[in-house]
A and B are shown apart, each in its own frame.
Chain A
Amino acid sequence: MSQLAKQPKLRLATVWLAGCSGCHMSFLDLDEWLIELAPRIEMVFSPIASDTKTYPEDVDVALVEGGVGNSDNLALIHQVRQRTRLLVSFGDCAITANVPGLRNPLAGPAAVLDRSYLELADGSAQWPHAPGLVPELLERVLPVHELVPVDLFLPGCPPPAERIRAVLDALLRGEQPLMEGPEMIRFG
């Protein structure tokens, strides 16, 4: 085995910002390879594989799904950046704002909130308002790299499981994944 085997396990995190969780589902589509992966990593933070609520220190690799759409996302992404060696923008929402970003041309969150909570409400139409509990929407949903430096971009909506595997494989070998060609960088 490679150097990594001698070293402590790779401390991996997956982060879910403004996205549909489809990228995480695609991660789960790795099926039996996940079993191969398990002994080689330590999953230190993840909405699907960890109960930890606080993003830990000293993370090797973070797969960040989703754009930055609300105040919680914003706080978390800065924390992730500070505490992570290799930050991967994981999927189109993290890289382009993608579907969550469809609200961006509407100039502010009011139009979205009106539509969702007032116009389409079945009853008791009102904006959600619970400071400290319900995070405030930002003016725009932004790609991660417009806010913090990103080390690797893993496009796709969602990125196919094979693409995710190719990236993780390379990272586990201590190599820089080769991000080129339709198999690796096609959006959508």
Chain B
Amino acid sequence: MSVRTLRIDGRDVASADGATVLEAARDAGVAIPTLCHLEGLSPVAACRLCLVEIEGSGKLQPACITPVSEGLVVHTATPRLREIRRTVIELLFTEGNHVCAVCVANGHCELQDRAVEVGMDHARLPYRFPDRPVDLSHPRFGLDHNRCILCSRCVRVCDEVEGAHVWDVAWRGEHCRIIAGLDQPWGTVDACTDCGKCVMVCPTGALFHKGDSEGEKHEDPSRLAALQRARHSRQEAP
């Protein structure tokens, strides 16, 4: 595997050819915020948090899918990018009903963490307070659409890892919603294997274990990558 040398925030970074700017940055200890990205799932570049400036490119590029190349000069934390990230987080907070105080994921929520990182002490945009349902039909898990940020991790993990494709995104634009089966109660979908991976990868409290109370959801989405690696090595073993 050949190596590419690039510059991230003024530091020279060596990275394997084929790696993304996000991977190269993380290896070098440069934190680029993400939400829709999760190691082990296909990238969708939808949340736009990981946009970076690349010298010579007029457009901002999502680090999660931009491959490294020799001599690339990347800036990950310019004032312009900080402002963009805060606005993205504000758009997410104002679009749904994110009430940290009563959320199962309070204290263990990627959205909440990102809000702190981008310095959001309040939302400068007005809250929209949409009317969204909660699905408690599954015996073990629940789905609170109020807390969903449409990152589509659940859709991807169920399709790409579990192979059940219980979830998909339906409708469009502001009306987009995660659906199970034919937009039916989750508990009535035969395809669901009750594996709980969707709950594990959900960055917020949208998908949760029933019975968990405020602040009691302690999932670790990064377990997915470990799971993938373990499966992979077993398949490769004789």
Q: B122 is contacted by which of A104, A140, A155 (Cβ under 8 Å)?
A: A155
Q: Does A104 contact B129, Cβ atoms closer than 8 Å?
A: yes
Q: When A98-B99, A98-B101, A99-B101 are in contact, do A187 and B115 touch as well, CB less than 8 Å?
A: yes
- Complex contact B112–A96 (CB within 8 A): no
Q: Contacts A181-B116, A182-B116: A102 and B127 contacting too (C-beta < 8 A)?
A: no
Contact of A160 with B by CB under 8 A: no
A-contact 0/1 string along B78-103, CB 8 Å cutoff: 00000000000000010001011111
Q: Are B122 and A89 in contact (CB under 8 A)?
A: yes
In the complex, the answer to whether A188 meets B107 with C-beta atoms within 8 Å is yes
- B119 and A185 contact, CB distance less than 8 A: yes
Chain B residues near A (Cβ < 8 Å) = 93, 97, 99-103, 106-107, 112-113, 115-116, 119-123, 126-127, 129-132, 215
A105-B129, A143-B127 given; A188·B103 CB < 8 A: yes
B207 to chain A, nearest CB (A): 18
Is A32's beta carbon under 8 Å from chain B? no
Within 8 Å by CB of B101, from A105, A143, A146, A157, lies A157
The answer to whether A96 and B123 have CB atoms under 8 Å apart is yes
Q: Is A78 an interface residue (CB 8 A)?
A: no
C-alpha gap A182/B120 in the complex (Å): 11
Q: How far is the CB of A87 from chain B (nearest CB, A)?
A: 12
Shortest beta-carbon distance, B111 to chain A, in Å?
A: 10
Nearest CB in chain B: distance from A151 CB, A: 11
Residues of A within 8 A of B (CB): 89, 92, 95-99, 101-102, 104-107, 140, 143, 145-146, 150, 153, 155, 157, 179-182, 184-188
Closest residue of B by beta carbon distance from A158? B101
Residues of A within 8 A of B126 (CB): 146
The answer on a CB contact under 8 Å between A185 and B121 is yes
Min Cβ gap A86→B in Å is: 15
* B-side contacts of A179, CB under 8 Å: 119, 121
Cβ-defined partner of A188 (8 Å) among B97, B101, B127, B131: B101
Residues in B neighbouring A97, C-beta threshold 8 A: 127, 129
What are some 26 contacts across the A-B interface (CB < 8 A)? A92-B99, A95-B122, A98-B99, A98-B101, A104-B129, A105-B97, A105-B129, A105-B130, A105-B131, A105-B132, A140-B129, A143-B123, A143-B127, A146-B127, A155-B121, A157-B100, A179-B119, A181-B116, A182-B113, A185-B115, A186-B112, A186-B116, A187-B112, A187-B115, A188-B106, A188-B112
A95 to B127, CA, bound (A): 10
> CA–CA, A98 to B123, complex, Å?
12
B215 nearest CB neighbor, chain A only:
A188
Q: Please report the C-alpha to C-alpha distance between residue A145 and residue B130 in the assembled complex, in whole angstroms.
A: 20
Provide the residues of chain B in CB contact with A98, threshold 8 Å. Answer: 99, 101
Contact A188 B100 (CB under 8 A): yes
Contact partner, A185, options B103, B120, B127, Cβ 8 Å: B120
The complex places the Cα of A157 from the Cα of B106 at a distance, in Å, of 11
Nearest-neighbor residue (CB-CB) of B131 within chain A:
A105
Q: Which of B100, B122, B123, B132 has the most chain A CB atoms closer than 10 A to its own CB?
A: B122
A107 is contacted by which of B103, B116, B131 (Cβ under 8 Å)? B131
Q: Complex Cα distance A101/B99, Å?
A: 9
- From B122, B127, B129, B130, give the contact of A150 (CB < 8 A): B122
Given contacts A96-B122, A153-B121, 15 further A-B contacts (CB under 8 A): A95-B122, A96-B93, A96-B123, A97-B129, A101-B129, A104-B127, A143-B122, A143-B123, A155-B122, A179-B119, A180-B119, A182-B116, A185-B120, A186-B115, A187-B115
